[in-house]
Amino acid sequence: MKAALKGRRCKNAPALATDRLQTHTGIVVSFRKIFLLAVVALGIAAFFWLDLGRFLSLEYLKQSQDRFEALYAAEPLKVSLAYFALYVVATALSFPGAAIITLAGGAIFGLWWGTLLVSFASSLGATLAFLVSRFVLRDSIEAKFGNRLAEINRGIEKDGAFYLFTLRLIPVVPFFVINLVMGLTKMKALTFYLVSQIGMLAGTLVYVNAGTQLAQIDSLKGILSPALLGSFVLLGVFPLIAKGIVGLLQKRKVYARWASVKPKRFDRNLIVIGAGAGGLVSAYIAAVVKAKVTLVEAHKMGGDCLNYGCVPSKALIKSAKLAHQMRHGDTYGLHSTPPTFSFKAVMQRIQAIVRAIEPHDSVERYTGLGVEVLQGYAKLVNPWTVEIALNDGSKQTLTTRSIVIAAGARPFVPPLPGLEDSGYVTSDTMWEKFGELDEVPQRLVVLGGGPIGCELAQSFARLGSQVTQVEMGPRVMAREDEEVSELARQALLKDGVDVRTGHKALRVEKHPEGPSTGSGRTGGVLVVEHAGAEQRIEFDELLCAVGRSARLTGYGLEELGIPTNKTVETNEYLQTLYPNIYAAGDVAGPYQFTHVAAHQAWYAAVNALFGDFKKFKADYRVIPWATFIDPEVARVGLNEQEAKEQGIAVEVTKYGIDDLDRAIADSEAHGFVKVLTVPGKDTILGVTIVGTHAGDLLAEYVLAMKHGLGLNKILGTIHTYPTLAEANKYAAGEWKRAHAPQQLLAWVGRFHDWRRG
């Protein structure tokens, strides 16, 4: 027993030692921060307590100039070093009076030696202030404003040195503010020092030179005359002009090999490749602003969403939910009835719904809006020319000022041995193939535990299929919080789905018994690995739903050398390598949602048509999405696992929908509303809703986050009773209750006691 205990202690000792070391290190760092902050505070306090500011006036400097010059003549090295040290300390502690000290440099040491001393001392002092700000303040600022600081850091990483240089050239911007603010970013200290050294040189020369003429100076305002300030501003604007020139040169370099083929006149203002959500919106916007636009689509108008994704899947989900409600009629006080139906009729209903929505995205509608629609395959010949192989066999070549690529995505098919011969279907091909079946597939394997896989697995299980869902990861819907994933898994299990997480698909083998009875096609066996052992799962149909990959080939990206990395690489304006070629939607990423494609399309179209005058950065700050399993899962902004990964401090407020009157009345009393806020504030950072109609309920939070409204505003808004939307109000109420001023309420209670006598 003693040996066992001894072994356990030895085994855990490294972890305990690491924890203690980390705790000790944290205490030491905190002590150092406090000590450094105390030193800085004492230095500043001493400055004002001892009234040292009286020595940093123009009058004192003029009165003492002869004495300083005599000291310098007697001890030039000591005086130079003392002056240098004084300047460094004053700058590092952000004391007022740097201008006077700089003048003193010119008055005592002359132009060149004074400039040299001031230049290096000011840069060194500024860097010390930068480092103090970083050491003392950055961690706490990142904890409170992590999201905003992340955006700033991305800009600093890209153009930080350039903007710092511009700020250093304009003395109307207080340098101590620049020092402190830059310390909160991730700019390298060496970069900060070198840029400051160069950027402050012009201003240093002006002040030191003025110091050599100290007798003629009556006030500091005289040094920075309006003319001189104007010169500094022009000097500060010059880098912006230079950046524009550099941009033009880079643009010219990119287009260099195509210069000889650039048209003098263009057939179109815009050509859009792909008629999914991104392409349709891009073309629509161009037509609205009276641009001449051509939309090219090789297959079906409306893209994946209308024909294979959002629309047919939601129609399937509705039929499956009704079958589920019939099977559980006793929940509503009715007789439970096993649903009897024709699967072919279910699939025909889905196709009828697609046809009913088709006119919204049809050739006729967009032609009527002023868009030229060509049906065929487009290929980029050069940055301004698109060759279109029309579906009727003819070809057409058009030139255009700008191009928007909205080619979408296709289902990703994993490279499993034997898969190609298995007769598998994807979320694209299943609608046509399953539409031929007389009955629902008896044994269905769904490969993938993401949103698409979960929606389809649950729907087919509710329609009577024996569904096995295979997911390689440890849980389904891995992008959501663990509790959300678990609720989704429980919902799938409840509907009869055999959920197998942690199972890796290895290969597909032919079914030993030949054709299956359900589909008329050969079924098979999916071989998976779990916990080091192989398992065999027989199926009649295999559905691959492991994600979607952007369409990157077949339309000229390779020939033009446009970089791709899972998606078309774009900048924040959605421009590709060629500034006149844009990408939007699934082909551009980072989100594969129809509403995001439409959102990006606005930026792509507007920048393509008007970018020479004004460009807009695509805004991804408030992106909602939903997974339409039952109960639905909807989210906007951060969830808990993302906040933890990004080191963002959040406060979590949760309201259980099981307590909501309307949900109880509808027998849908399950799920929750979870809101993440800035600690101590009602600012919303993210919301996750699990429950019936969660996707619809989320809209209120999307609006609030988009326009900076907090939970207090939601709480103060009247919500109709009894509705599901009251869940949002009650979640806000939970937050308010947690922040009630308890001490004040105690005094109010005493007041009421007193009023009662």
Q: What is the pLDDT of residues 621-656, one digit of tens each?
A: 899 999 999 999 999 999 999 999 988 999 999 999
Residue 488 has pLDDT above 80, yes or no: yes
pLDDT score, position 11: 42
Find which of 1-10, 189-198, 635-644 is predicted with most confidence, using mean pLDDT.
635-644
Tell how far CA 1 is from the center of its chain: 54
| Cα distance between residue 204 and residue 102, in whole Å | 7
How many Cβ atoms are within 10 Å of 244's Cβ, its own excluded? Answer: 10
For the chain, percent of residues with pLDDT exceeding 70: 82
The span from the CA of 731 to the CA of 713, in Å, is 12
What pLDDT, on a 0 to 100 scale, did the predictor assign at position 114?
85
Sign of CA dihedral 97, 103, 104, 105: positive
196 within 8 A of 168, measured Cβ to Cβ: yes
Measured CA distances, 598 to 245, 278, 285, 604 (Å) = 33, 5, 11, 10
Span 108-136, mean pLDDT?
86
Burial of 533 (0-12, 13-18, 19+ CB in 10 A): exposed
pLDDT given at position 213: 67
- The arithmetic mean of pLDDT across residues 9-28, rounded, is 45
Does residue 300 carry a pLDDT above 60?
yes
649: left (phi over 0), alpha (psi -120 to 50) or beta: beta
CB 371 within 8 A of CB 283: yes
pLDDT at 105 (0 to 100): 79
Q: What's the pLDDT at 32?
A: 63
Query: Top-level CATH class of 425-549?
Result: alpha beta
Look at 320 and 85; give whichever has higher pLDDT. Answer: 320
Euclidean distance between CA atoms 279 and 358, whole angstroms: 15
Report the pLDDT value the prediction gives residue 252, as an integer from 0 to 100: 80
Query: What pLDDT was estimated at residue 43?
Result: 61
Q: Return the percentage of the chain with pLDDT > 90, whole number.
A: 62
> For the ranges 165-174, 222-231, 400-409, which has the lowest average pLDDT?
222-231
Q: What is the largest CA-CA distance in the chain?
A: 109
CATH number of 631-742: 3.30.390.30
Q: Look at residue 517 in the predicted model and tell me its pLDDT.
A: 44
pLDDT at 549: 95
Average pLDDT over residues 174-202: 83
Q: Over the stretch 205-260, which tens digit does the pLDDT of each residue have? A: 777 777 676 545 555 555 555 554 554 555 555 555 655 665 676 778 888 899 89
pLDDT at 348 over 60: yes
pLDDT confidence of residue 44: 61
CB 425 within 8 A of CB 441: no
CA trace torsion 263, 269, 275, 280 (10° rounding): 170
pLDDT above 70 for 22: no
Position 9 scores a pLDDT of 38
Of 112-121, 179-188, 672-681, the range with the highest mean pLDDT is 672-681
Is 355 a residue whose pLDDT tops 90? yes
390: tokens are 């029309």
Question: What average pLDDT does this structure show over 453-471?
Answer: 97
Which of helix, strand or coil describes residue 32?
helix
Checking if the pLDDT of 202 tops 80, the result is: no
**CB–CB of 623/591 below 8 Å?**
yes
* pLDDT score at 295: 97
CATH fold, domain 268-410+550-610, is FAD/NAD(P)-binding domain (3.50.50)
* Confidence (pLDDT) at 89: 84
Average pLDDT over the chain, rounded to whole?
Answer: 86
Task: Name, in order, each residue with C-beta under 8 angstroms of 151's C-beta and a sequence gap of 6 or more.
Answer: none
Residues 539 and 517: their CA atoms lie apart, in Å, by 11
Residue 213 corresponds to which tokens in the numbers above?
A: 């003429």
**pLDDT score, position 296:** 97
Q: Is this model's pTM higher than 0.85 or not?
A: no
Lowest mean pLDDT segment, chosen from 87-91, 153-157, 166-170, 480-484: 166-170
User: pLDDT by residue (tens digit) across 50-103?
Assistant: 555 555 555 665 667 777 778 888 888 988 898 888 888 888 877 666 767 777
Quickly list H helices, 50-188. Answer: 58-74, 76-92, 98-109, 111-169, 175-183
